[in-house]
Chain A
């Protein structure tokens, strides 16, 4: 089976400091995994801040180059993607979704312009009606419509709606892989599940694989097929999401699992809480 994304023994080292007292920080240390082209899946990278999960996702997006090891996407080694034509071809297939939708969009720019721009850049430009239809189509996949978004500025929409526009924009180029870095941590609680469910629908209906980067074990359990748990740049545990999260083996994964605060009250409320 051919691999959609093959990450093999990737390391990333940042050097801090000057000529005389430099310090090397191993942000990502020997990480390997592959996502098959034949079976779309939601692949989750879990870790706390400083675990290297964002650096890893930036390397998958080819924003950051690995210090050693190789990332191969759809048969192309990302290190060879240098010319702007190659980069466009790569971005055509891999699209990002970022954590904070309020920062991802320029507040002074109307949202539909992002959508039109993406459409013109990645697909042969038709006339405005064709573009409208394509944009409306993408927005409908995320539960919005062009009518709601046209001529609107980012501050006029809620965080959940904005994040959906970001997803619709990513869908416009018909990607094979979406890299979503903490896509729901800035979204309101009542809207979070609709975004998470949307990722499921993208996988099941459109056959898009998703790399889901998060620190939230509960949503990871809810949507992912496979997970890796990272600590200080290294993968400490990997496997089927259900198996790993139900019975974590590595001490760090157990610690993470134990630290999840369940949204339920098991014991009767303490005496101090009883009303007078």
Chain B
């Protein structure tokens, strides 16, 4: 590979020793090969960010912005056609390997669930449908919790009380519970080993609004209690405003803006972020809202330069041939846009 493209200039940020996850320049592409012609879908293309200890880091972006690929790569769930092309993922509890996918399987098995756990969107797909929940808890957590069977059972029951579930759910099959209860079970399952880091991928999207608020409150409560960090992915800006501490906005495989959640909502800088926030209708407010022209780009053939420029109201000449870098405009507020940062030299 020749000289690093401009977007990677920000890779050399000082590594904050409070950070539990450092992602540097991560690039993960899907490779498809037909008749000897390789096509790359650049789903994650040069992403750099940190997640600090004890914070909830939100990732926002629409479908096909690469947010699911990003967390798959972070979680080490890399299967062909997905390939990690470059960059590193460094967990504080697994130093030196540059990613779960590079670590030996024994190491990964050691940290899984003990240090790193997941809350996924489809709770029905996480829980084994033909086993009672007691068995699911044993499958997931028993290897990581010492003590006798009795102590383990007590720990599970105590932990279920945190998500306001009764011990009787342990005897139930997943289909016997409502969607909200099932999602609470998966939250309990993901947090019972008090992991340092939890990846949550759209955990409340399938839930009703009333239930969603309860479940978000529980995620927040448990996270505060056990002091985990959470990487929380959803496209719903209302959820981000309600829950997350810091927020990264993704567009077409790249991070375009990052700041504390309050700052993103109060002073969004990137035109995409601004649109995302201003287009949301609010109850009690009759201002007409506009949709954005055009469609998210096809990642197999993304536009050159800034990937947002074909839809951007502030697009300039430079945007179509150079990639803007993430530049810190205020402490902790990074944005990648020529219109905001000026025509900077990398």
Which residues from chain B contact A76 at a C-beta distance below 8 Å? none
User: Residue B246 at the A interface, CB < 8 A?
Assistant: yes
Q: Which residue of A lies closest to B237 (CB)?
A: A263
Measured CA separation A117–B345 after assembly (Å): 55
Chain B residue with the shortest CB-CB distance to A216: B209
How far does the Cβ of B310 sit from chain A's closest Cβ, in whole Å? Answer: 13
A273 touches B246 (CB 8 A): yes
Task: Tell whether A249 is near chain B: CB-to-CB under 8 Å.
Answer: no
B276, CB-defined interface residue at 8 Å: yes
A103 CB to closest chain B CB, in angstroms? 15
Chain A residues within an 8 Å CB radius of B288:
197
Give the Cβ gap from B221 to chain A, nearest Cβ, in Å.
Answer: 14
Quote the shortest CB–CB distance from A69 to chain B (angstroms). 26
Q: Is there contact, CB below 8 Å, between B281 and A190?
A: no
A265 touches B283 (CB 8 A): no
Q: Does A219 contact B (CB under 8 A)?
A: yes
In the complex, whether A191 has a CB less than 8 A from a CB of chain B is yes
Asked whether A265 and B291 contact (CB < 8 A) given A49-B208, A273-B260, the answer is no
Say yes or no for A15: interface residue by CB 8 A criterion: no
Give chain A residues whose Cβ lies under 8 Å from the Cβ of B52.
276
Q: Which of A37-45, A108-116, A156-164, A172-180 contacts B (4 or more CB under 8 A)?
A: A156-164
Interface residues of B in 221-253 (CB under 8 A from A): 235-239, 241-242, 245-246
Given A189-B237, A193-B290, A217-B209: A265 in contact with B280 (beta carbons within 8 A):
no
Give the shortest distance, in Å, between A165 (CB) and chain B (any CB): 13
Find the residue from A49, A161, A194, A273 having the highest chain B CB count within 10 A.
Answer: A273
Chain B interface residue number, banded:
35 or more
Q: Name the CB-closest residue of A to B205.
A: A185
Q: Which of A145-191 contact B (CB under 8 A)?
A: 157-161, 188-191
Chain A: interface residue count, which band? 35 or more
Q: Is B292 an interface residue (CB 8 A)?
A: yes
Q: A261-B238, A263-B238 are in contact. Are A160 and B295 (CB under 8 A)?
A: yes
Contact B210 A259 (CB under 8 A): yes
B272 (CB) vs chain A CBs: closest residue: A190
**Nearest CB on B from A87, distance (A):** 34
Q: Is B150 an interface residue (CB 8 A)?
A: no
Report Cα–Cα, A270/B223, bound state, in Å.
Answer: 14
Q: A255-B210, A257-B283, A269-B245 are in contact. Are A193 and B260 (CB under 8 A)?
A: no
Nearest chain B residue, comparing its CB with the CB of A269: B262
Picked from B208, B292, B293, B296, the residue with its CB within 8 Å of the CB of A48 is B208
Give Cα A77–Cα B140 distance, bound, in whole angstroms.
Answer: 56
B3 CB, min distance to chain A CBs, angstroms:
31
Chain A residues with Cβ under 8 A from B296's Cβ? 158, 188, 190
Minimum Cβ distance to chain A for residue B41 (Å)? 13
CB distance from B148 to the nearest CB of A (A): 37
**A204-234 interface mask toward B, CB cutoff 8 Å, 1 = contact, 0 = none?**
0000000000010111011000000000000
Kindly state whether residue A58 has any CB partner on chain B within 8 Å: no
- A161–B266 Cα distance when bound, in Å, is 31
Residues on A with C-beta less than 8 A from B332 are 274-276
Q: Is the CB of A193 within 8 A of B262?
A: no
Residues from chain B with a CB closer than 8 A to the CB of A93 are none
Q: Is A63 an interface residue (CB 8 A)?
A: no
Indicate which residue in A48, A158, A190, A217 contacts B279 across the interface (CB closer than 8 Å): A190
User: Once the chains bind, are A275 and B282 in contact (CB under 8 Å)?
Assistant: no
User: How far does the alpha carbon of A96 sit from the alpha carbon of B245 in the complex, in Å?
Assistant: 41
Evaluate contact between B295 and A161: CB separation under 8 angstroms.
Answer: yes
B341 CB to closest chain A CB (Å) equals: 18
Contacting pair A218 B281 (CB below 8 A): yes
Closest A residue to B290 by CB, please name it: A193
CB neighbours (8 Å) of A270 from chain B are 245
Contact, CB under 8 Å: B289 / A222: yes
27 residue pairs bridging A and B, Cβ less than 8 Å apart: A48-B208, A48-B209, A48-B211, A157-B295, A160-B291, A188-B63, A189-B62, A189-B276, A189-B280, A190-B272, A193-B289, A193-B290, A193-B291, A194-B293, A196-B281, A260-B209, A260-B283, A262-B238, A262-B241, A263-B277, A264-B265, A269-B260, A270-B245, A273-B245, A273-B246, A275-B246, A276-B52
Binding site for A on B (CB under 8 A): 16, 18, 52, 54-55, 62-63, 179, 208-213, 216, 235-239, 241-242, 245-246, 260-263, 265-266, 272, 275-277, 279-284, 288-293, 295-296, 311, 331-332
> Could you list 4 further interchain pairs (A-B, Cβ under 8 angstroms) beyond the known A195-B291, A269-B245, A269-B262?
A188-B235, A196-B289, A218-B280, A261-B238
Closest 5 CB pairs of A and B: A194-B291, A275-B332, A261-B238, A269-B262, A273-B245
